[in-house]
Amino acid sequence: MFHKATTEKERQNIFDDYLLGILKRKKIIKNNQKLIDESGFSYDPEKDNNQIKGTFSSYVDTLVIKNYMIEQLQSRLKISKGLSTNFINKLNGNEILILSKNLNDFIKYIDENHNNVNDYILKSSFNVLQRNYNVAQQQEKKKNHQG
């Protein structure tokens, strides 16, 4: 870096620019740390990994998937369309994705473990499914990190 300079003044300018760059980076880091400290921001990398961004490319995709799940729940669990619609509409985007991937397992679980299906059973059964899904995801991540 300094070998390019031929005079003492050029060397001093290169050194000053270098030092100024370091000081600017330190100030940026200090300002960013101050913003983080003041905002109460806590970064959880696992939370980011679990959030599926852009799950459905459009509103229409979401409607199609929701309607499919409503029809499946209604016909296979023999419940009213209103009950299945209310249940599906209470789910957020991440929950809809999980349920759409595991719909058959969810219906099978309810058939095997419950005689009467209502909103409480649907939600509690889904919570069990979601918990099992999250445990499986964590185990897969650990396996990938170790392997």
Residue ranges making up the domain that contains 23: 2-39
**Burial (CB count <10 Å: 0-12, 13-18, 19+), residue 19:** exposed
Q: Distance between CA 54 and CA 58 in Å, rounded?
A: 9
The answer to whether residue 42 scores a pLDDT higher than 60 is no
For the chain, the domain total comes to: 2
pLDDT by residue (tens digit) across 46-88? 554 444 445 566 778 888 889 999 999 999 888 889 989 999 9
Looking at the fold, whether 102 and 33 belong to one and the same domain comes out as: no
Average pLDDT score over residue span 133-144? 90
In a domain, 129, yes or no: yes
Q: Distance between CA 100 and CA 71 in Å, rounded?
A: 12
Looking at the fold, whether 95 and 142 belong to one and the same domain comes out as: yes
Contacts of 80 (CB under 8 A, 6+ apart): 74
Looking at the fold, whether 62 and 31 belong to one and the same domain comes out as: no
Q: Distance between CA 102 and CA 105 in Å, rounded?
A: 5
Residue (of 138, 109, 140, 139) closest to 122 by Cα position: 109
Looking at the fold, whether 35 and 58 belong to one and the same domain comes out as: no
0.85 exceeded by pTM: no
Looking at the fold, whether 60 and 119 belong to one and the same domain comes out as: yes
Q: Provide φ and ψ at 136, rounded to 5°.
A: -60, -40
